[in-house]
Structure 1
């Protein structure tokens, strides 16, 4: 096939895949609102039977509309996958380490009390907080009832899962823990500062500040205590670390030529929060870095290192010149910059992982 024909074919294939993804993600936009309205009416008897009052139900859905972003992200949630090396580099950034150390100073007494009460290492609790919402800075901004009801109604799979989460969310409202307007979370319905799904709230949310409430949205002590309680009830072993980098360890996430780790049962407990080795290793490494440890000794094989601050600034400047909306270049890789990187990688026919690496900047500078 001639190069020009291959290029045209690739563009057509990409367009078709994007269109197919949009259809598979959920209800088309034209039919979305009526479908959601019908679902809200049909789900009410189930909620009332489970103990949710009619008044709570009606208030929960007042002004709720179809969450198109939830459907869009649900449809592509498995589309871009960072390698474990890229993921750890991206998540355990200098900024996140520094903010974790600042949070340790600010909430030291709270964290010490939580560590004594639950037996969970305070650095691990901090690291989960940092990973989930960047220490409370990015809780998601979605109305949880709108996001979950949209997914329960209109996503192309896992509807039963989201119906259970919706019912749990309504019970949280019925109990008065939070108002519908303040029940903020991610597009998938993970709530508050440490991103609890609604079904995890009742068994694991804890009162960390002693006011008799469990407010994982506005109370940092409640959010941190809830995380510690979750980890403890899933088998955290007090006085034991997650593990360490060690030759001859039992965990080789990048194969025999990469770093090797000797992990403990607590590493597996971290995976109960998010069942992915990339996530668990990032939490574990972030906890160590907040504590003052250095980077891994053994480098990742065939891995392009992340950009330093000057490189990130240069990357953003290049993206802005190419017409991508990254805001004012500031050397910080946020959602807008990652999306711009992903879009540029797609255009170039590269793996769209959104990772700001040395090799990416080199390719961008030499591409036409």
Structure 2
């Protein structure tokens, strides 16, 4: 990341850098510098959050509207894949090997994250592996372009992305980085763990103690930030994530959880024909779900740590992919 000292406090430095940048690259975008809604946003940021309007005028003079982003977010969602199709996308020999290598390279940081936050290394590595292949694909859009495009040109979710744009500008100010240099996904997710700006400001940590939080190119900060996120969302150290279940009887369908939040406990599900293959407390709330696997139907009980993973991405299959990749990483590391 390019560090810009005193982003908020020394406006002259900011404007001086912008002038140099403009001189070197004169053909800057002008997609948002005259837009009324951008002027309104700048006024809000100036009035409510202490920004200098000149700084933000300069940022939005250089922000670009990206049609590719609007195309991507407006594209009809693909038909939901079955688990037998979804799993092979993330559970591959290459991803397991890459995870073992990442674990070996950052063993000390991962061990410290577990000691401080209670989140095991394999889960942290699996999250980063599923999200970005250990930093191999963190996104190629400037975050300011992605968030500006969605905040000002995508009405269905404009309030959400306007909030994330506000959070992004505040994190750039706090971390003293040039907001025009940071890159991410088409939706504005950033770095190795793909945090949205609001998640960055709430959960990201300076895990290497250098005075800045850098989840883009600093795996140590990314590791600590994922662990921080999981702890803050209720990760229970030493507890399992899922339990397989045997399901029988005419009432079994009534046990399936609608959505992700657990609404029945183990005892209630047992009365409907769901029998866990592990000893679980009868009063433990769980998420009951069925997957169509390569070898047929699978029935699972998602435990509290499973629900924590779904807070990172609201998908049963995502959480299962993270969990199974984590298990394979432990096995592969043990065979070395």
Superposition TM-score, scaled by structure 1 size: 0.66
1:42 corresponds to 2:81: no
Q: Hey, what's the Cα distance between the residues in 2 that align with 1:44 and 1:35?
A: 10
Q: Hey, what's the Cα distance between the residues in 2 that align with 1:283 and 1:119?
A: 17
Equivalent in the alignment of 1:141: 140
Q: Hey, what's the Cα distance between the residues in 2 that align with 1:177 and 1:83?
A: 44
Q: Hey, what's the Cα distance between the residues in 2 that align with 1:72 and 1:49?
A: 33
Equivalent in the alignment of 2:227: 228
Classify 1:288/1:151 alpha carbon distance in 2 versus 1 (closer, same or farther; 3 Å). Answer: same
The structural deviation recorded for 1:291 is 1.0
* Equivalent runs, 1:277-288 vs 2, <5 Å: 277-288=316-327
Superposition TM-score, scaled by structure 2 size: 0.73
Classify 1:275/1:212 alpha carbon distance in 2 versus 1 (closer, same or farther; 3 Å). Answer: same
Tell whether the 8 Å contact from 1:53 to 1:174 is kept in structure 2 after alignment.
Answer: no
Worse overlay, 50-59 or 116-125: 50-59
1:167 corresponds to 2:166: yes
Q: Higher strand share goes to which structure? A: 2
Equivalent in the alignment of 1:202: 201
Q: Name the SS for the 2:97 alignment partner.
A: helix
**1:3-41: per-residue Cα shift (whole Å, max 9, x none)?**
xxxxxxxxxxxxxxxxxxxxxxxxxxxxx9479844322
Instruction: List runs of 5+ in structure 2 lacking aligned partners.
Output: 1-29, 247-274, 277-287
Q: Hey, what's the Cα distance between the residues in 2 that align with 1:261 and 1:254?
A: 11
1:273 corresponds to 2:315: no
Q: Hey, what's the Cα distance between the residues in 1 that align with 2:175 and 2:201?
A: 12
Q: Name the SS for the 1:241 alignment partner.
A: coil
Equivalent in the alignment of 1:251: 289
Q: Hey, what's the Cα distance between the residues in 1 that align with 2:108 and 2:153?
A: 45
Q: With CA pairs under 8 Å and 6+ residues apart, which has the higher RCO, 1 or 2? A: 2
| Runs ≥4 residues deviating over 4 A | 244-247
Instruction: List runs of 5+ in structure 1 lacking aligned partners.
Output: 1-31, 295-368
1:103 corresponds to 2:95: no
Equivalent in the alignment of 1:211: 210
Q: Hey, what's the Cα distance between the residues in 2 that align with 1:235 and 1:159?
A: 30
The structural deviation recorded for 1:55 is 4.3
Aligned-residue RMSD, C-alpha: 2.4
Equivalent in the alignment of 1:70: 69
Q: Hey, what's the Cα distance between the residues in 1 that align with 2:292 and 2:95?
A: 23
The structural deviation recorded for 1:177 is 4.5
Classify 1:60/1:192 alpha carbon distance in 2 versus 1 (closer, same or farther; 3 Å). Answer: farther
Classify 1:210/1:77 alpha carbon distance in 2 versus 1 (closer, same or farther; 3 Å). Answer: farther
Q: Hey, what's the Cα distance between the residues in 1 that align with 2:180 and 2:33?
A: 23
How many residues align structurally? 263
**1:250-299: per-residue Cα shift (whole Å, max 9, x none)?**
432239942233432100000000011111111111111111179xxxxx
The structural deviation recorded for 1:82 is 2.3
Equivalent in the alignment of 1:338: none
Q: Name the SS for the 2:57 alignment partner.
A: helix
**1:66-111: per-residue Cα shift (whole Å, max 9, x none)?**
1111101110152343223211111112111110011111111110
Q: Name the SS for the 2:77 alignment partner.
A: coil
Tell whether the 8 Å contact from 2:63 to 2:144 is kept in structure 1 after alignment.
Answer: yes
The structural deviation recorded for 1:172 is 1.0
Classify 1:80/1:180 alpha carbon distance in 2 versus 1 (closer, same or farther; 3 Å). Answer: farther
Equivalent in the alignment of 2:80: 81
The structural deviation recorded for 1:244 is 4.5
Q: Name the SS for the 1:169 alignment partner.
A: helix
The structural deviation recorded for 1:142 is 0.8
